[in-house]
């Protein structure tokens, strides 16, 4: 099953583009499910029709789903819930209801991602299009398997052993929180495995990719570049960026002249940041994207002749690797010969110029303090060394 996850800053057009992608693919004869992991239920706005927690056919071959997170928690995590609520009760609070558990930060997204896995196992659709949350939330979740791995391997076995020893005494002492039963640890383990399973689905470069939706605006692009750096680090493949809401050529009113000029400038930054990843564009329409025909128009603009479900790019615009004491950033540029390399760095931002090629990336926060120590071209790729300023 092909899986495409759309993310990007709030309000840039993720839901519209996700719905448009699904519609175009369905009209080409595929069976496609578009699902929103966003509790705001905006897919039903995009389709201008009610959508429920069970997949519903909106048009031939096009299915849509908006999740009911509370129901999912009740179905799946009753054991965890009961443990959490016992602990809370011991702390003097009332029993925690599923609705309250559902309100914990990140829960909506988390269950959305678990639903991705469920559909993957179900194998009912040719493609699953995920309308994900704004970048920050999504990235936090996509990094979760890595972090949980550590927890499960290091902490869980210790807690479990400790619980075995202490439980007979602890449960008699009212002043201590009740120790979880083994079934709770087992539920935790299954939970972890489910999340790791989602990671496996989403990092499978043959079938899965992330697409970054943005507008040609400064802050939006900055967030997308940062997201790209982290997606790379966590090994998620980005196969396209979608620049939405560009002023169409037909708008010649001088009132918009500055907007147009700014958008042209920002398009350059986008190319320098993401090339060779394909950059798809859509114009600012003269109305909001409500209903099938509006979405079909958006899909034509975004994809033109491109097949929406194709994996449009494999590989990465850059890689960050550890190298001895420092790190190196490898730019996948089609560079044939050695030329003068211009390097500069400002905060987390690294600028590189080689002949007519210009690249700039935002480094992960943990590397922002390092300086650019030199560059070399090897096997047609540009390597930039990062090291402590003092070294």
Ligand X SMILES: Nc1ncnc2c1ncn2[C@@H]1O[C@H](COP(=O)(O)OP(=O)(O)OP(=O)(O)O)[C@@H](O)[C@H]1O
Q: What is the DSSP letter of 154?
A: I
Binding mask 303-322 for Mg ion (x = CB under 5 A): --------------------
State both tokens at 227: 């997201």
Measured CA to CA, the distance from residue 138 to residue 321 in angstroms comes to 23
To ligand X, the closest distance from the beta carbon of 251 in angstroms equals 12
Please identify, using beta-carbon distances, which residue of 101 and 113 lies nearer to ligand X: 113
To Mg ion, the closest distance from the beta carbon of 37 in angstroms equals 10
Please identify, using beta-carbon distances, which residue of 14 and 117 lies nearer to ligand X: 14
**What DSSP assignment string belongs to 179-248?**
PPPHHHHHHHHHHHHHHHHHHHHHT-TTTEEEEEEE-SSHHHHHHHHHHHHHHHHTTPPEEEEEEEEEPP
Residue 15 is a binding residue for Mg ion (CB under 5 A): yes
Please identify, using beta-carbon distances, which residue of 8 and 180 lies nearer to ligand X: 8
Tell me the window of 38-46, 59-67, 144-152, 194-202 that interacts with Mg ion (CB under 5 A). 38-46
To ligand X, the closest distance from the beta carbon of 31 in angstroms equals 23
Going by C-alpha positions, the residue among 296, 211, 303 that lies closest to residue 27 is: 296
To ligand X, the closest distance from the beta carbon of 228 in angstroms equals 17
Residue 16 is a binding residue for Mg ion (CB under 5 A): no
To Mg ion, the closest distance from the beta carbon of 284 in angstroms equals 17
List the alpha helices (DSSP H) in the chain: 14-27, 43-47, 69-76, 78-90, 98-101, 107-122, 135-142, 144-150, 156-170, 182-202, 218-233, 257-274, 292-303
Residue 37 is a binding residue for Mg ion (CB under 5 A): no
Please identify, using beta-carbon distances, which residue of 175 and 250 lies nearer to ligand X: 250
Binding site for ligand X (CB under 6 A): 10-16, 38, 42, 134, 244-245, 282, 284-285, 288-289, 298
Please identify, using beta-carbon distances, which residue of 9 and 14 lies nearer to Mg ion: 14
Residue 44 is a binding residue for Mg ion (CB under 5 A): no
Going by C-alpha positions, the residue among 301, 256, 274 that lies closest to residue 16 is: 301
To ligand X, the closest distance from the beta carbon of 296 in angstroms equals 13
Q: Is 112 left (phi over 0), alpha (psi -120 to 50) or beta?
A: alpha
112 binds, among Mg ion, ligand X, none (CB under 5 to 8 A by kind): none
Please identify, using beta-carbon distances, which residue of 11 and 355 lies nearer to ligand X: 11
Q: What is the DSSP letter of 308?
A: T
Residue 41 is a binding residue for Mg ion (CB under 5 A): no
**Torsion angle in degrees (nearest 10) through CA of 334, 338, 344, 350:** 20
**By rule CB under 5 A, what count of residues binds Mg ion?**
3
């Amino acid at each position: 099953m092909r899986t495409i996850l759309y993310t990007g800053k709030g309000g840039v057009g993720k839901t519209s583009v996700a719905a448009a992608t699904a519609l175009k693919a369905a009209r080409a004869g595929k069976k496609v499910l578009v699902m929103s992991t966003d509790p705001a239920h905006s897919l039903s706005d995009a389709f201008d029709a009610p959508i429920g927690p069970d997949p519903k056919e909106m048009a031939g071959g096009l299915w849509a789903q908006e999740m009911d997170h509370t129901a999912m928690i009740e179905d799946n995590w009753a054991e965890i819930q009961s443990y959490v609520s016992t602990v809370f009760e011991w702390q003097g609070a009332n029993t925690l209801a599923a609705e309250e558990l559902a309100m914990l930060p990140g829960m909506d997204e988390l269950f959305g991602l678990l639903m991705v896995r469920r559909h993957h196992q179900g194998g009912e659709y040719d493609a699953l299009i995920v309308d994900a949350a704004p970048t920050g939330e999504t990235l936090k979740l996509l990094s979760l398997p890595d972090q949980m791995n550590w927890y499960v391997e290091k902490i869980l076995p210790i807690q479990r052993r400790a619980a075995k020893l202490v439980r007979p005494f602890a449960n008699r002492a009212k002043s201590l929180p009740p120790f979880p039963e083994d079934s709770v640890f087992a539920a935790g383990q299954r939970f972890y495995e489910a999340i790791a399973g989602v990671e496996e689905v989403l990092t499978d470069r043959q079938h899965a990719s992330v697409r970054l939706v943005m507008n040609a605006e400064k802050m939006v692009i900055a967030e997308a570049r940062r997201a790209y750096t982290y997606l790379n680090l966590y090994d998620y493949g980005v196969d396209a960026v979608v620049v939405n809401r560009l002023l169409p050529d037909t708008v010649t009113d001088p009132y918009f002249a500055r907007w147009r000029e700014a958008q042209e400038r920002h398009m350059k930054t986008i190319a320098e940041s993401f090339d060779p990843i394909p950059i798809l564009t859509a114009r600012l329409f003269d109305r909001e994207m409500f209903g099938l025909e509006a979405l079909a128009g958006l899909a034509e603009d975004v994809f033109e002749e491109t097949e929406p479900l194709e994996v449009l790019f494999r590989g990465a615009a850059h890689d960050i690797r550890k190298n001895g004491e420092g790190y190196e950033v490898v730019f996948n540029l089609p560079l044939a010969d050695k030329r003068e390399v211009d390097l500069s760095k400002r905060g987390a931002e690294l600028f590189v110029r080689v002949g007519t090629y210009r690249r700039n990336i935002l480094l992960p926060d943990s590397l922002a303090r390092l300086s650019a120590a030199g560059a070399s071209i090897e096997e047609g790729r540009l390597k930039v060394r990062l090291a402590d300023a003092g070294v």
